[in-house]
Chain A
Amino acid sequence: MASMILLARYAECIFWLARYVERAENLARILDVQETFSRDTRGQQNWRSVIQINSDEARFEDRFGKEFTPETVIQFYVTDPTNPTSIQSSIRAARENARTLRPLISTEMWSQLNIFYNRLRELPPSAASPHRLSSLCAWIKEACQAHTGITEGTFYRDQGWYFYQLGRLIERADQTTRIVDIKYHHLLPSVADIGTPADVAQWNALLRSAAGYHAYRRKHPSGMRPELVAGFLLLDDFFPRSVRSCVQEADRLLTELRSRFAVRGGSAALETLDELRALLGGKTIRDVMRSGLHEFNDMIQLQLGGVGSDLAHDFFGGALQDLAGAA
């Protein structure tokens, strides 16, 4: 068992490594779908909505003022090294975590992230222009997926693997709630648009951004209805990016981690995940809509945040800090 222990700091780094890559991938997805949305008459407003969704108004305005153009928003979120929420910053953070973790992760994991970051860093600002956005996002998504694939294929399945997966799933669930929120927050209020061809195209785009278009078609061949799409993204049992799938998987992994590696912590996080799991399994999308979709998303995000801090306390050194303080 001597080799099966995991340094608390490594657990934290691997958790965040996974989160940052997942975050970058989802931001690429959001920008991609936003570009599709923005082809309608409210295009300008839509670009602003991405900033709002991520609560980045103040930071954005410091840099670009009130210029919510496609160019500025894309630059802000893709190539801006000074914006901590840009894709470049996320991948830099992922790579810095990976640098710390190099004794633990496979050489291939490190090398791919290293090359990915260096290419991102070398992108000229002009690379983030609207007409190139789609191919740029496709490249970023692929690089993130390559990372996930290399990890799946090369990373040793000890504790580190569990913390990696937990980070990825928690981030993914959080991001899915944000993708759903974008659409509802800013497009649905216009009642006149519901069911119009432009609207259907946007729902298609939303599903595509979550890589769920084909899966949705199989589940709901009858048509594209906003509440069904939201239900699919939040509550579907089989779709790998749905909040419910992510929570179920995280719950299973944490249970397994605790039983296989004789770690004592994690009970608070597990309790929250159990609750979330029951909640997501027991509700229909109609229930959710009745009590407010946005509020529901907010509540999920809050709970997921709680899981993150519980893990930090129990596994990443928080509890040890308490102990050292007492000693």
Chain B
Amino acid sequence: MSALAGYDPGALWCELLGGAERRQHTDVARHLDAFSLDELRNRAVAAERELYNLGITFTVYSEKDAIDRILPFDLIPRVLTADEWTHLERGVIQRVTALNAFIHDIYHDRKILKDGVVPADLVLGNANYRPEMVGVNVAHNTYVHVCGIDLVRDESGQFLVLEDNARTPSGVSYVIENRHMMQRAFPELFKGTGVRPVDSYGPKLLAAMLDIAPSHVADPRIVLLSPGVFNSAYFEHIFLAREMGVPLVEGRDLVILNDHVFMKTTAGLAPVHAIYRRIDDNFLDPKAFLPTSMLGVPGLFEAYKKGNVALANAVGTGAADDKAVYAYLPRIIKYYLDEDAILPNVETHICREADGLAYTLANLDQLVVKPVGESGGYGIVIGPKASRAELDQMRAKLIADPANFISQPVVGLSVSPTLTDDGIRPRHVDLRPFAITGRDTWVLPGGLTRVALKKGSLVVNSSQGGGSKDTWVLEA
């Protein structure tokens, strides 16, 4: 009868039971084990139906219709202990602090480039570097107001950073909605277990927006700028606007007069002072960036440069979060903070450096090779799983354009018990904690746990068959 019968994480780290050396059965595991698989399946079906009915969905628009899809939800939570969280929180704050210092530097004195710590062309030649931002000052020198850092865990249980998301990271709405769903669908599991709440994300984000609004405005008006209902993350935009209690606007709702931003209301134009924008830099202002953008607001960037409106995240953060710069993050942390990285990177070989390229070519069948410009898991070659032909192709690409690639060893990603057609089985997970920074940095306890639902799959992206789980941070 017991739900966990037949569950075997092998040599991998298990997010519920711990390392292979010493598995531990916590209260949560015991509560879970008391359920029958049928009961779990019934609840899982009910939970997914509820997500669909509540419209906690992303929408795929075809020519004729709008099709709503839910992000598949697994109702077995991923659990982090209080100690694990303390460590993660410190590491995330450190990383966000370094990212902000780095971005400020590359748009001002460029000391880190002059000192040769990071190759100048890597930054200045980056497609996401915005020369328009040079010399522009932003409140509290904060550029990355919302940061999502993707973490994985190896066989020993050590957390490693896989990727930084410093532009417009998404997924936080699922963190909070998954919790609400769990509390309705699976209240027994919380019994006797103190889980840290996640409800303060909206107020914290609003507070950060108020932190950065022009300081001379007594009662600043904040809005969330969305590309609109056709964007696949529209639900999250709605969610955050509601949680902050601010209007969700589109580009067409805003107008610039004399370098000030206004929104069109039933009573005429009303001033806007800070914008949480979920539109990429390129589309933000057709006068400053992509001229064909229909989503943005002509003149917004000029108003921003003059300090009449604050934007979160700042323009130009994309120069800091791609895979090429990622490889230098441990050195960047050391450079600005004189500290070692609390959360290490996955061991990374930078192919633009001769050593890195040589190592990568010599060990191609053992490494994961990633193009630095892609996201969403595209263009990755996983050595041990690749065919001879794929490896040869990769080798040719590496030699032709080494600067475009990094390589990493295959990490035995941790697993979490997940409800599958075969029963509860180990599936690989990652973790994206969210940090908000206005004057200071605050980290939402928990984060988005994505799970690769396909057996053996390492790819957790929702575009490639991933789902999500509620993430529990236990109280001390």
User: Hey, which bits of chain A sit against chain B, CB under 8 A?
Assistant: 2-3, 5-11, 81, 96, 99-100, 102-103, 107, 110-111, 114-115, 118, 159, 163, 261-265, 315-317, 320, 323-324, 327
Contact = CB atoms under 8 A, between A and B. Distances in A.
Contact of B242 (A102, A159, A262, A320): A102
A77 to B, nearest CB: 19
Contacts, number: 78
Given A5-B270, A107-B54, A110-B55, A100 B229 contact: yes
Interface residues of B, number: 31
10 contacts: A2-B221, A7-B247, A7-B265, A8-B264, A10-B247, A81-B65, A96-B229, A99-B234, A315-B266, A323-B269
A263 B133 CA distance: 39
B247 to A, nearest CB: 5
Nearest to A263: B267
A13 to B, nearest CB: 10
B81 interface: no
B268 interface: yes
Interface stretch (B3-11, B192-200, B250-258): B250-258
Interface string B217-234: 001010000000100001
A2 B218 CA distance: 12
A103 B238 contact: yes
B379 interface: no
A115 B54 CA distance: 8
B242 A111 contact: no
B34 to A, nearest CB: 32
Interface of B: 52-55, 64-66, 219, 221, 229, 234, 238, 241-242, 245, 247-250, 252-253, 255, 257, 263-270
B229 A99 contact: yes
Contacts of A115: 53
B264 A264 contact: no
A99 B55 CA distance: 9
A327 B269 contact: no
B268 A264 contact: yes
Given A5-B265, A96-B229, A324 B255 contact: yes
Contacts of A111: 53-55
A3 B265 contact: no
Contacts of A96: 66, 229
Contacts of B54: 107, 110-111, 114
A80 B390 CA distance: 49
A118 B53 CA distance: 9
Closest 3 CB pairs of A and B: A103-B241, A102-B238, A103-B248
Contacts of A317: 264
Contacts of B52: 118
A159 B270 CA distance: 15
Contacts of B253: 7-9
A265 B245 CA distance: 26
Nearest to B250: A9
Nearest to B248: A103
A107 B51 CA distance: 12
Contacts of B245: 3
A7 B255 CA distance: 13
Given A118-B53, A320-B255, 18 more contacts: A5-B265, A7-B266, A8-B253, A8-B265, A9-B253, A99-B229, A99-B234, A100-B229, A102-B238, A103-B241, A103-B248, A107-B54, A111-B55, A115-B53, A261-B266, A261-B267, A316-B266, A320-B268
A11 B266 CA distance: 7
Contacts of A159: 266
A107 B238 CA distance: 11
